[in-house]
């Protein structure tokens, strides 16, 4: 792994014996990008912007450019560990396992945008040109199965996912399988699409993005998918800010995707804004906030790195796990 310069190291050495994380301000974090090129243009950013989520070149340059550099160094270090282990075992036929990154956080916090930006930035590094991204939506149980189990109202909670299938998928990728299939989830119909899948083909880096990807193991599930991650990110923000972002996104969807006759939520397309805000608040308080408080936020401390967002969606603080 490339060493940091003296200036860069100063931002990573603030003494804090009470936390497993080093707290880094945005200004200090931005300096850690060093000479890393900025490969994206303003026009390309349009492909990353989520519904109602502001994003500009400064955010990519000051937050995600240094993050891609850090992860690149972790991936290089992991390959060196593999090389040394292979030498110790006197084996010459093994290729390095894909480097797996988990990205977790609440509904509407912007983790999908983070995942897409990192996918493309990491692919610009010569050591990791093949970066593939999957979301855990494909491992949700079909709506009919959720109804059968009586948990349709808890869609997005840990029990609504086929965790064994997700674990098998990541295990196959880490084991170097040539092809591994992911069920296809359609956000328009809000359901798994039968007989459709995405194929992951032995990437250099696999990014797994989802609400509950940092869940720990349990007696019922003695191995967790997070145990297979080489690096993990938690996208964090204040609860009231996330609720506001969720409401803004709901209103935009009402005027756009919900208007599609194929949409699962087409019945909401004719609501006026006041009624839509009330319904969004109901969904937030009844489903998304409880899931955040009970299941998602408790996994924050398990991440390798936490991106702390402010009300305007900008990352103003980074917490990096001490090593």
Burial (CB count within 10 angstroms: exposed 0-12, middle 13-18, buried 19+), residue 290? middle
Phi, psi of 159 (to 5 degrees): -70, -10
State the pLDDT at residue 63: 96
Q: How far apart are CA 315 and CA 117, in angstroms?
A: 14
Q: What CATH number was assigned to the domain covering residues 6-321?
A: 3.40.50.300
Alpha-carbon span 52 to 74, nearest angstrom: 32
SS3 200: strand
pLDDT computed for residue 50 by the predictor:
66
The model's pTM is 0.92
Cα–Cα distance, 310 to 317 (Å, whole number) = 9
Q: Where are the domains of the chain?
A: 6-321
Q: Residue 17's pLDDT is what?
A: 59
The confidence score (pLDDT) of residue 163 equals 95
For residue 174, the SS3 value is helix
**Positions in the chain short of pLDDT 70:** 1-17, 50-52
The pLDDT of residue 16 is 52
Task: Using DSSP bridges, classify how beta strands 99-105 and 231-236 pair: parallel, antiparallel or unpaired.
Answer: parallel
């Amino acid at each position: 792994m490339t060493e940091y310069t003296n200036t860069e190291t100063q931002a990573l050495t603030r003494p804090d014996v009470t936390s497993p994380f080093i707290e880094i301000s945005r200004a200090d974090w931005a300096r850690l990008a060093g000479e890393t090129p900025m490969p994206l243009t303003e026009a390309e950013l349009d492909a990353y912007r989520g519904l109602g989520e502001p994003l500009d070149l400064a955010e990519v340059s000051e937050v995600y450019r240094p993050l891609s550099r850090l992860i690149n160094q972790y991936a290089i270090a992991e390959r060196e560990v593999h090389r040394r282990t292979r030498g110790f075992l006197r084996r010459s036929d093994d290729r390095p396992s894909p480097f797996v990154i988990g990205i977790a956080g609440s509904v509407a916090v912007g983790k999908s945008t983070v995942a897409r930006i990192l996918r493309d930035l990491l692919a610009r590094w010569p050591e990791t040109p093949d970066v593939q991204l999957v979301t855990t939506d494909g491992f949700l149980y079909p709506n009919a199965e959720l109804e059968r189990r009586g948990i349709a109202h808890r869609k997005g909670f840990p029990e609504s996912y086929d965790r064994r299938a997700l674990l098998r998928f990541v295990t196959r990728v880490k084991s170097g399988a040539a092809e591994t299939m992911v069920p296809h989830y359609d956000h328009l119909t809000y359901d798994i699409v039968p007989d459709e899948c995405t194929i992951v083909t032995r990437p250099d880096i696999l990014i797994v993005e989802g609400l509950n990807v940092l869940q720990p193991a349990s007696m019922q599930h003695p191995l967790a998918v997070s145990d297979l991650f080489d690096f993990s990110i938690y996208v964090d923000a204040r609860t009231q800010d996330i609720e506001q972002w969720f409401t803004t996104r709901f209103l935009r969807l009402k005027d756009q995707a919900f208007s599609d006759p194929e949409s699962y939520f087409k019945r909401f397309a004719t609501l006026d804004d006041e009624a839509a805000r009330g319904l969004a608040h109901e969904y937030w308080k009844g489903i998304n906030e409880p899931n955040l408080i009970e299941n998602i936020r408790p996994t924050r401390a398990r991440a390798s790195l936490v991106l702390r967002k402010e009300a305007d969606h900008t990352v103003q603080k980074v917490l990096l796990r001490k090593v």
